[in-house]
Amino acid sequence: ARPSPPSFRSAAYSADGHVWFVTGVVVQTVDPSRLLQKALPTQTYIESLIADRKEFEAAPNLKIPPNPRDLQIDYTSPSFSIPQRVKFRYRLDGYDHDWHEAGTRRQAFYTDLPPGKYSFRVIACNSDGIWNESAARLDFSIAPAYYQTNWFRALCTVIFLALLWAAYEWRVRQ
């Protein structure tokens, strides 16, 4: 039987900055200045949507009641390496034309959104400056108030035309 190598293990720094590792069998060196540490793009998550101080869970195809005055969307990106340096961009498809640079802020604000379907997207940049390509997405819709619906507009048009016709008939009879 062959004797097993001794379990002596050690590491040391040399004057030129290299790190030397010694086992009972092998001596190895590493130059830390030549190591690349590029972090992977950070992922983003949408946490919640708050409409007029009422919180909604960020669920697919979320439905918001009519006439929300204030809308707040909370998002985040869990990063364990310098979370204070994570930057964000967001966009509300169906409303915004371009991406908003949010910096390190983790909330988006909108006021007086009209009824319709929207898709909120957010991306993040990690501390190494790498933007993720796959945006977190939240699809939601704002329901119209009764006076914003097509049937109400049609009803108002019919009543207006009926009143106009009644006024014409009344004038002709005089």
pLDDT digits (tens, 9 = 90+) for 77-116: 887 667 778 899 999 998 999 999 999 999 999 999 999 9
On the question of pLDDT at 1 being above 70, the answer is no
The CA–CA distances, whole Å, from 105 to 72, 157, 161 equal 12, 46, 52
On the question of pLDDT at 44 being above 70, the answer is yes
pTM above 0.75, yes or no: no
Identify the pLDDT of residue 38: 62
CB 64 within 8 A of CB 72: no
Q: Which two tokens stand for residue 74?
A: 């909370």
Read off the pLDDT of residues 108-152 as tens digits, 9 standing for 90 and up: 999 999 999 999 999 999 877 888 888 999 999 999 988 888 898
Q: What is the mean pLDDT of residues 6-26?
A: 76
On the question of pLDDT at 7 being above 70, the answer is no
CB 133 within 8 A of CB 42: no
Identify the pLDDT of residue 93: 94
Q: Which of 137, 87, 135, 92 is nearest to 110 (CA)?
A: 92
